[in-house]
A and B are shown apart, each in its own frame.
Chain A
Amino acid sequence: MKILVAIKQVPERDAQISIAADGRWIDESDLSYTINEPDAYALEEALQLKEKNGGEVVVLCAGPERVTSTLREALAKGADRAIHIEADDLGERDTLGIAQLLADAARAESPDLILTGLQSDDLGLGQTGVVLAELLGIPHATIIMQVEVTTAGLKVKRELEDGWFQYVEMPLPALLTIQSGGNKLRYATLMGIKKAKTKETKTVQAAPATAAQAITLERVYLPEKQKKTEILTGTPAEVAAKLVEKLKFEVRAI
């Protein structure tokens, strides 16, 4: 089974984020980057499927030169090959635009299965995987916790809300977006790093953006801290009634 894992490089979780001068993106100088966490789980799932069923794991990442470090790390953890879509203008492409880049590269590989994280740690849109499946015309399932290969294709476990799960059977080829925490991640080893040096990383140039962005990013800002205190007065019964009303209609917590 040939598995393609689409990964994204995002700023390190502990990074001190500051807003760029134009207020439209974060300041990228002096940032350290890492693999997007749900993508790390997608890679882990792919590696485990390969260990169980054989095949090949190819990692795919779009972005500037710096993303090669994340690709190398994926190779060190056990991926067989890497494809780097070199693009310095991802900020000017929307989800569809990026999915198109990934789709072009994926078509050339014609994999049996495409895995990707369910969303990114930085933008958190959660759409790239789904759009990619649509562009390729293959079935997809989202928020996947477990993957099992069956004779007919796949049986997967989706996470629903409230502790509910859904089991879906689907044919191959297919695309799955993987939830964090379904597996235990592995650590990169010295042997992995040494082996990664001999593995192939193919660089392809991103096709120029064809269409104007459907979505543009207007403003990026750090979460504003809010703290509002209000003291309710009255008899205990009155206070309770007011509290319920506020929780219901203002905070919408119940």
Chain B
Amino acid sequence: MRAAPSEGVARGWVRMVAVARGTTVGARSMTAALIPGIHLSATLAEPAHFSGLEKISLLIGIAISLVLFFWRFGPILRTIFRSKKDNDFSLHPIRRRLWDFVWEVLCQGKVIRQRPLPGLAHAFVFWGFLAFALVSLNHIANAVGLGFLNPASDLGTFYFFFAAAWALLVAVSITALFVRRFFVRPIWLGEKVSYESGVIAFLIFLLMVSYLGAFFVDASGTAVKVLWWTHTLTLLVFLPLIPHTKHLHLVISPFTVFLKRDGFSRIPPLSGDEDFGLVSGKDVTQLISLQVYSCVECGRCTEHCPASNTGKVLNPKEIILGTRSYLNEFGPASETSLLTDMREVPSNNPAAKYMSMEAAFECTTCGSCEYQCPVGIQHLPIIIGLRRGATNTGAWEDTHGTKLFLALEKHGNALGLSAMERDKFIQKQAFPIFDGTQEYCLWLGCMGGYDPKGREIIADFARVMQYLGTTFGVLKKEKCTGDPARRLGNDLVFQTMAEFGLKAFETAKVQKIVAICPHCVRTISNDWREYGIAPEIEHHSEFMARHKARLPKQDSGESIVYHDPCYLGRYRDVYEEPREIVSLAGELVEAPRSHERSFCCGAGGGLAFLGEESGERVSHVRAAELAGTGAQIVGTACPFCNTMFRDALSAMGEAPPQLLDIAQLTARALPASEMRTGEQ
């Protein structure tokens, strides 16, 4: 025990010691007993005197460190600023941005929520760094006599102990993260072990230890000097390493999160006659540049990607890193193609395949990557941007894709059937044509208008509306919303479809639309905005949930596993409404991956219309997962998911679960008088 009152008085610590005793007495005695010669002081020890040589060395050290930092960071900043301006960028809505900043950056909400343990460890390191900012500043300032936090003051005592608590948490957390990266080695971090991460982890550990050590030494001895210089040198080495590694996210990701484009999977409008999407470096915008340099390579995007998980080439993380390498190699003004199919790539470059057309066109646009990203990277505008670049210029030559575009051009529906088939279906169902007297316009969509199973869903939903006494009519002529063209990057077809649809709604004076397809809902309510304002639209799950009090409660006791469609969940944030409907029909069962972590059915992004996929089928993986819950029924809320699972479940062989849309689950309990004959 060294904090004798007399000594305390001599050093002016009287009040402090009294305070410190209560808190540290136990630890001190223990330490003193275990390691002779080392004792825990009640205060942080700071070297009392710095020689001129030390001061000069420090200043030179700082100068070298800063120069090295900007040596690398300068070019990155230049690349970001020299990238093309984002024409549609606006800081509005500022409140949402501030909230995201507070939740995602300061609270580390996303980091923790989607990967609780490593997320928490990361959060401790982050919060520890914040707590340490003041300590580090004071640490350096001390050397030139500008220290502002006196360890002996009340504030100083409090703060240094506060920081010490954080230092402990950081040291433990960074050790845990080190163990995870180098011994547990989750594959999402990449096959190659990142040694630089090891170095950084060691530096962080050293920073913490050299800080904590100062509580155990005398202020006058050489030990304190050694600790002080160790801490300082670690800081000075750490700084220039930041822009060389993924630790650049320390500096720029707070900006990335704050500045990210407003809206999920928001595809920016093309600007001018020379813009066809992401063709080459000159098309890469400032936001994209900022985002790709922010990537922390955590691999959450890839972990959740349906393509990566089923043995395809696409790896969203590698698309981001590929774009970053491109910018490093060619710069933001380059005319060289971003996709590796159309530029010379050394044959031994293993990363080339990740930036290929094949990879870009394997994306189902399920949005898991963008949803998961903790540093604000928006993958979808980038992947779809690459597709736009390939499709709008005609570089993408795909038999199925071409067939789809021609079908949309010619017949106005993605299934390539004659528009008269829809007329016949409407006639057979005796759907009234919307004439302005009805409350809702019932949007059929390609699936509802042409696909046998989709027609069953529409017919059943119409029965539900009739049962509820809601008036509705259908458009006389309807074309596809352009969703598959939009996601496959065909702006010409998409624009044609959007303009046709907007005009059809305007002519018919539609006020409210309801649709069974989340893709239609998303495209009409969101993507069409580029060309006009569509009437208000909602998904049938939202409609039915609003009227659930008047819908029959079924006592079937059947277990129903609900599959969240990507375009309803992640895209529209509708999770509970369809569950309410499912709960009316039976007992709701959750799939292992549900809500915002739901796994795609494989149909999105126009992929339902493309050819056979390589590797495992996404739909089979998901169908097996749903069937694996043991539920008797698979409940869907999207006609595309439904059609994918129909094939996948029937391929699974014996007694697969029944497959029903939420409209069918509801309609089956309606009184027979509401029955209509025939579904096609």
Residues on A close to B: CB < 8 A?
12-14, 34, 184-194
A191 and B406 in contact, given A14-B418, A14-B419 (Cβ under 8 angstroms): no
B391 at the A interface (CB under 8 A)? yes
Q: Which residues of A contact B402 (CB under 8 A)?
A: 184-187
B14-47 vs A, CB cutoff 8 Å, 1 = contact: the mask equals: 0000000000000000000000000000000000
Q: Which residues of B contact A192 (CB under 8 A)?
A: 394
The 5 sampled A-B contact pairs (Cβ below 8 Å) are A12-B410, A13-B411, A14-B419, A187-B406, A190-B492
Residue in B402, B410, B492 whose Cβ sees the most chain A Cβ within 10 Å: B492
B405 at the A interface (CB under 8 A)? yes
B101-116 vs A, CB cutoff 8 Å, 1 = contact: the mask equals: 0000000000000000
Cβ contact within 8 Å between B394 and A34:
no
Complex Cα gap A13–B406 (Å): 13
B612 at the A interface (CB under 8 A)? no
Complex Cα gap A186–B419 (Å): 22
How big is the B interface, by class? Answer: 20 to 34
B374-402 vs A, CB cutoff 8 Å, 1 = contact: the mask equals: 00000000000000000111100101011
B491 at the A interface (CB under 8 A)? yes
Cβ contact within 8 Å between A188 and B409:
yes
Q: Per DSSP, are chain B's interface residues mostly helix, strand or loop, or mixed?
A: helix
Cβ contact within 8 Å between B392 and A191:
yes
Q: Which residues of A contact B418 (CB under 8 A)?
A: 13-14
Q: Which residues of B contact A14 (CB under 8 A)?
A: 411, 418-420
Q: Which residues of B contact A184 (CB under 8 A)?
A: 399, 402
Give the nearest-CB partner of B397 in chain A.
A186
B329 at the A interface (CB under 8 A)? no
Q: Which residues of B contact A189 (CB under 8 A)?
A: 391-394, 490, 492
Residue in A34, A184, A191 whose Cβ sees the most chain B Cβ within 10 Å: A191
Residue in B273, B276, B394, B491 whose CB lies within 8 Å of A186: B394
Cβ contact within 8 Å between B394 and A191:
yes
B426 → A minimal CB distance (Å): 14
Give the nearest-CB partner of A76 in chain B.
B492
Besides A186-B402, A189-B393, A190-B270, 16 new A-B residue pairs in contact (Cβ under 8 A), listed by A number? A13-B410, A13-B418, A14-B411, A14-B418, A14-B419, A14-B420, A34-B410, A186-B394, A187-B401, A188-B409, A188-B492, A189-B490, A190-B276, A190-B393, A191-B393, A193-B492
Q: Which residues of B contact A12 (CB under 8 A)?
A: 410
Cβ contact within 8 Å between B491 and A190:
yes
Q: Which residues of A contact B405 (CB under 8 A)?
A: 187
Give the nearest-CB partner of B402 in chain A.
A187
Give the nearest-CB partner of A12 in chain B.
B410
Complex Cα gap A13–B418 (Å): 8
Shortest beta-carbon contacts, A-B, top 3: A187-B405, A190-B392, A189-B394
A185 and B406 in contact, given A190-B392, A192-B394 (Cβ under 8 angstroms): yes
Q: Which residues of B contact A186 (CB under 8 A)?
A: 394, 397, 402
Which of chain B's residues 558-578 have a Cβ closer than 8 Å to chain A?
Answer: none
Q: Which residues of B contact A188 (CB under 8 A)?
A: 409, 492
A16 → B minimal CB distance (Å): 8
Q: Which residues of A contact B406 (CB under 8 A)?
A: 185, 187
Give the nearest-CB partner of B274 in chain A.
A194
A63 → B minimal CB distance (Å): 20
Complex Cα gap A243–B397 (Å): 52
Q: Which residues of A contact B270 (CB under 8 A)?
A: 190
Residue in A184, A190, A193 whose Cβ sees the most chain B Cβ within 10 Å: A190
B465-501 vs A, CB cutoff 8 Å, 1 = contact: the mask equals: 0000000000000000000000000111100000000
Q: Which residues of A contact B392 (CB under 8 A)?
A: 189-191
A181 → B minimal CB distance (Å): 13
Complex Cα gap A187–B403 (Å): 8
Complex Cα gap A186–B406 (Å): 8
Q: Which residues of A contact B491 (CB under 8 A)?
A: 190
A187 and B490 in contact, given A14-B420, A192-B394 (Cβ under 8 angstroms): yes
B606 → A minimal CB distance (Å): 13
Complex Cα gap A52–B419 (Å): 37
Complex Cα gap A245–B402 (Å): 48
Cβ contact within 8 Å between A194 and B273:
yes
A191 and B276 in contact, given A14-B418, A184-B402 (Cβ under 8 angstroms): yes
Q: Which residues of B contact A13 (CB under 8 A)?
A: 410-411, 418
Complex Cα gap A188–B394 (Å): 8
Which of chain B's residues 402-430 have a Cβ closer than 8 Å to chain A?
Answer: 402, 405-406, 409-411, 418-420
Q: Which residues of A contact B273 (CB under 8 A)?
A: 194
Complex Cα gap A208–B409 (Å): 36
Complex Cα gap A188–B402 (Å): 9
Q: Which residues of A contact B420 (CB under 8 A)?
A: 14
Complex Cα gap A185–B399 (Å): 9
Complex Cα gap A187–B392 (Å): 10
A41 → B minimal CB distance (Å): 12
A185 → B minimal CB distance (Å): 6
Give the nearest-CB partner of A192 in chain B.
B394
B423 → A minimal CB distance (Å): 9
Complex Cα gap A192–B395 (Å): 11
Which of chain B's residues 23-80 have a Cβ closer than 8 Å to chain A?
Answer: none
A9 → B minimal CB distance (Å): 14
Which of chain B's residues 248-286 have a Cβ closer than 8 Å to chain A?
Answer: 270, 273, 276
Complex Cα gap A193–B394 (Å): 11
B500 → A minimal CB distance (Å): 11
Complex Cα gap A8–B409 (Å): 18
Give the nearest-CB partner of A189 in chain B.
B394
A227 → B minimal CB distance (Å): 19
Q: Which residues of B contact A193 (CB under 8 A)?
A: 492
Complex Cα gap A188–B419 (Å): 21
A129 → B minimal CB distance (Å): 24
Complex Cα gap A186–B395 (Å): 11
B17 → A minimal CB distance (Å): 76
Complex Cα gap A189–B276 (Å): 10
Complex Cα gap A157–B405 (Å): 29
A51 → B minimal CB distance (Å): 12
Q: Which residues of A contact B493 (CB under 8 A)?
A: 187
Give the nearest-CB partner of A191 in chain B.
B393
Which of chain B's residues 585-603 have a Cβ closer than 8 Å to chain A?
Answer: none
Give the nearest-CB partner of A187 in chain B.
B405
Complex Cα gap A34–B410 (Å): 8
Complex Cα gap A43–B673 (Å): 56
Complex Cα gap A190–B485 (Å): 12
Complex Cα gap A186–B492 (Å): 14
A233 → B minimal CB distance (Å): 35
Complex Cα gap A12–B410 (Å): 8
Complex Cα gap A110–B393 (Å): 31
Give the nearest-CB partner of A198 in chain B.
B273
Q: Which residues of B contact A194 (CB under 8 A)?
A: 273
Cβ contact within 8 Å between A187 and B409:
yes
Give the nearest-CB partner of A73 in chain B.
B409
B422-440 vs A, CB cutoff 8 Å, 1 = contact: the mask equals: 0000000000000000000
Q: Which residues of A contact B490 (CB under 8 A)?
A: 187, 189-190
A50 → B minimal CB distance (Å): 14
Give the nearest-CB partner of B494 in chain A.
A190
Q: Which residues of A contact B393 (CB under 8 A)?
A: 189-191
Complex Cα gap A83–B419 (Å): 32
A225 → B minimal CB distance (Å): 15
B168 → A minimal CB distance (Å): 58
Complex Cα gap A130–B419 (Å): 34
Q: Which residues of A contact B397 (CB under 8 A)?
A: 186
Complex Cα gap A202–B521 (Å): 44
Complex Cα gap A75–B394 (Å): 14
Q: Which residues of B contact A187 (CB under 8 A)?
A: 394, 401-402, 405-406, 409, 490, 493
Complex Cα gap A13–B273 (Å): 32
Q: Which residues of A contact B411 (CB under 8 A)?
A: 13-14
A79 → B minimal CB distance (Å): 14
A203 → B minimal CB distance (Å): 24
Give the nearest-CB partner of B399 in chain A.
A184
B339-379 vs A, CB cutoff 8 Å, 1 = contact: the mask equals: 00000000000000000000000000000000000000000
